[in-house]
Chain A
Amino acid sequence: SAVISQKPSRDICQRGTSLTIQCQVDSQVTMMFWYRQQPGQSLTLIATANQGSEATYESGFVIDKFPISRPNLTFSTLTVSNMSPEDSSIYLCSVVQGWGNTIYFGEGSWLTVV
C-alpha cells in the first residue's frame, strides 16, 4: 500500500487561527480524501481532493471552513480555518488503492484548539 505522510502530526492552536495540514503520498494517486475523527466519534469524510479541480465536499462541510488544495497527484493540503474548540480532532489524509474501495490512511494530524 502507499506510504502516506502528514504534517504536522500534532499541534495546539489558538482559537480564531487557521492551520494547514500537508499530506504527501509516495506514489501517484487519482483520488485523495480528508477524514476527521472528533473525540469519541467515528471517522467522517470531509471532502475528496481532486487534482486540477475543486474539492468535493460532503454534507456539513464547506470550502470556506476547510479549503483544500491538490496541486499534483502526490500532494494535498487541508486548511482548518478560523478554528474553534469544536475543531479539535484528528484529521486524516487517505487514498484508495487496490481492489474495491479499500482506503489507506496517513498517521493523522492531531489538533487541539484552545
Chain B
Amino acid sequence: DQQVKQNSPSLSVQEGRISILNCDYTNSMFDYFLWYKKYPAEGPTFLISISSIKDKNEDGRFTVFLNKSAKHLSLHIVPSQPGDSAVYFCAASPGGSQGNLIFGKGTKLSVKP
C-alpha cells in the first residue's frame, strides 16, 4: 500500500501560469516533507522542503503548502517556465529514520510556451 501518493501522473500548464502539484500521504508519523525535480537522464534534485510544524514554506517561485489534517501537501510554481518541465516527486520522512524517504511515483509537468 502506497504511503505517499501523487494521483496525477501528468500535468500541462501554459508558461506564466501557476502549476500546482499535489501529494497525499497516509502515515501521520511523517514529520518532514520534500519535493524533488528530475530531468531525464539525471538524478533527482532537491527543490524545497517543509517541516510538519509549518503549513507553508516559500523559496522564490516555489511554495509548498502542508495541510496536516487532510494529510495533503502541494507544490505551487508561479510563474511556470518551460525549464520547469520535469518529473516532480513528493517525498516524506518517517520521524527518526534518517535517509529513508518514502517517495510518490511522480508527476510529469509540461510547461508549454
Contact = CB atoms under 8 A, between A and B. Distances in A.
A102 B99 contact: no
B34 A43 contact: no
Contacts of B97: 101
Interface residues of A, number: 25
A104 B99 contact: no
A52 interface: no
Contacts, number: 63
Given A44-B103, A100-B93, A102-B46, 4 more contacts: A42-B2, A101-B93, A103-B101, A105-B43
Given A43-B44, A106-B43, A108-B42, A33 B99 contact: yes
B51 interface: yes
Interface of B: 2, 4, 32, 34, 36, 41-46, 49, 51, 89, 91, 93, 97-101, 103-106
B42 A45 contact: no
A42 B49 contact: no
A101 B99 contact: yes
A40, A44, A101: most-surrounded residue (chain B CB, <10 A): A101
B32 A101 contact: yes
B50 to A, nearest CB: 9
B46 A101 contact: no
